Amino acid sequence: MANDIDALAARIETFVRGVVIPYENDPRRDSHGPADELVMELRDKARAAGVLTPHIRADESHVSQRDTATLLKKTGLSPLGPLACNTMAPDEGNMYLLGKVATPAQKARFLAPLVSGRARSAFLMTEPAADDGAGSDPSMMKTTARRDGDHWIISGRKAFITGFKGAAVGIVMANTGTPEKVAATMFLVDLPTPAIRLERVLDTIEYSMPGGHSVLSLEDLRVPSDQILGEVDKGLKYAQVRLSPARLSHCMRWHGAATRAQEIATEYVCKRHAFGKLLIDHEGVGFQLADNLIDLKQAELMIDWCADILDGGSLGTTESSMTKVAVSEALFRVLDRCIQVMGGTGVSRDTVVEQIFRDIRAFRIYDGPTEVHKWSLAKKIKRDRLEGSSAT
C-alpha cells in the first residue's frame, strides 16, 4: 500500500509541476479567488491524469491520515494544486465528515458530487462577532433551528464562510437547544437557495479560495428532517470529528506551498550576485535558507506525528492544536525568510512566493488563531495539573 501511495504522490507532483503551475497566471479569477471555470478545467485535467480526489478511495472511504499527508503535500506545491486535485478546504474536510456520519442516501446526494469534483461545498458554522455571535466558538451559537412538523426552520447569520458563492452543497450548524444551553445540530442543504442571502464577500489578505469568504443571512431556511447530518443535538460532537483532520490537512497543503517557495528562493539566491559573490554565499542569506530547511523538516515531523495519533483512533484534539500552531508558525517563518532573501522580487508578483506568503499568513488565523490554541492548551495544562494533585 505504501508503494501505491508513493507512486500516486509522484504522479500528483508531476501533474502539479507540469500542468497546474503554468496556470498560475491565468486571468480567470477575481479579487476573491480563481473562477469556477478555471477550477473545473483543471479538474478535468486531473481526472484525465488519474489524480482527482486522490485521498478518497473508489468506495468513498478515506485513506489514512499519514497517506493523506503524503498526497496533500504534493497537491500544495501550487496554490491551484488543491483546487485542481480536489483536496482543498472546505471540501476536503466536508468529504471526510460526510464519509464518517452521513447516511447512504445522504452520501449519494451530497457526498458523491463532491468526490467527483463536479461540485463545491461550504461549511456554515462561524458567526459574525459584531452581532455578539459565536465567532468560531460554536458553544455561543446564535443561529437557531426550530422543529416544524417533519421540517426544521433555520434563521441567523454566518460569517467567513469559505467557498459559499458557487457552492452546491452546504452543511449548516444551528442551535437546536436554548440560548442558555446550546445544542448544535448539522443540516445538509442544497445550494443556492433563496433562504440564504449573500450579504457580501469579504476582501481578505489571501485570494486562493474560489468564492472567497462570505457573510450570510439565513431567513427561515426550511430543511426536511431527513437532511439532518447524524443526530439532533450532536453537532458539536461531529464538529470534533471534522476538526482535527481539517486542521491537519491545512498543514499538509501549506507545507507543500512552503516547500515550493523555498525552491524558488533557493534558485534565486544561487543565481543572483551581490557585493562580489552569489547571494547564497552571504551568511545572512544562506543561514536563512538553512533555517528554512530545519523548520520544514520539523513541520513535516509534527504533521506525521499528529497523523499517526489520528490513525490510531484518537480525536487528536490536543495534538492537532499543537501541530496547527507549530506548523503555521514555522511555515510563516519560512515564507518570511524567502521574501527577505529575494528582496524586491520577493514582494512583487513576479513569482508565486508573494501569494504563498499571503496564504500562509492567513493560515495563522484560519482554523483557530495561534493564541486561541495556546489558551486551550494552557487550560489543559492547568486541568491536568489540578487533577493530578487531587489524585495524590
Residue 285: which H helix or E strand, with range? helix 283-311
pLDDT for the residue numbered 31: 85
Phi, psi of 349 (to 5 degrees): -100, 25
Give the E-state strand segments of the chain in sequence order.
Answer: 121-124, 144-148, 151-162, 169-175, 184-190, 196-202, 213-224, 228-229, 273-274, 277-278
Q: How far apart are CA 380 and CA 292, in angstroms?
A: 31
Give the pLDDT confidence of 305-330 residue by residue, as tens digits: 999 999 999 999 999 999 999 999 99
Q: Between the CA of residue 338 and those of 86, 180, 240, 273, 346, what are the distances in Å?
A: 28, 49, 35, 17, 7
CATH 2.40.110.10 domain position(s) in the chain? 121-231
Residue 281: which H helix or E strand, with range? none
Q: How far apart are CA 145 and CA 223, in angstroms?
A: 9
Q: Between the CA of residue 30 and those of 201, 211, 216, 293, 303, what are the distances in Å?
A: 11, 9, 20, 34, 32
CATH 1.20.140.10 domain position(s) in the chain? 236-391
Give the pLDDT confidence of 190-230 residue by residue, as tens digits: 999 999 999 999 999 998 999 999 999 999 999 999 999 99
Q: Between the CA of residue 186 and those of 65, 108, 154, 160, 182, what are the distances in Å?
A: 24, 18, 11, 18, 13
Mode of pairing for the β-strands spanning 169-175 and 213-224: unpaired
Q: In sequence order, what are the beta bridge partners of 169?
A: 121, 190
Look at residue 125 and give its three-state secondary structure.
coil
Residue 202 carries which side chain, given as an amino acid letter?
A: L
Residue ranges of the chain whose pLDDT lies below 70: 1-2, 131-136, 390-392
Residue of 277, 236, 216, 285 whose CA lies nearest to 97: 236
Q: Evaluate whether the domain defined by 121-231 bears CATH number 2.40.110.10.
A: yes
Mode of pairing for the β-strands spanning 151-162 and 213-224: antiparallel
pLDDT for the residue numbered 390: 65
* CATH superfamily membership of 236-391: Butyryl-CoA Dehydrogenase, subunit A, domain 3 (1.20.140.10)
Cell of 11: 504522479
pLDDT for the residue numbered 225: 98
Cell 480567470 appears where?
28
Contact 55, 235 (CB under 8 A): no
pTM for the full predicted model? 0.93
Q: How far apart are CA 363 and CA 355, in angstroms?
A: 13
Residue 95 carries which side chain, given as an amino acid letter?
A: M
CA neighbours closer than 13 Å in the CB half-sphere of residue 367: 28
pLDDT for the residue numbered 138: 76
369 CB neighbour count, 10 Å cutoff: 15
Cell of 174: 444551528
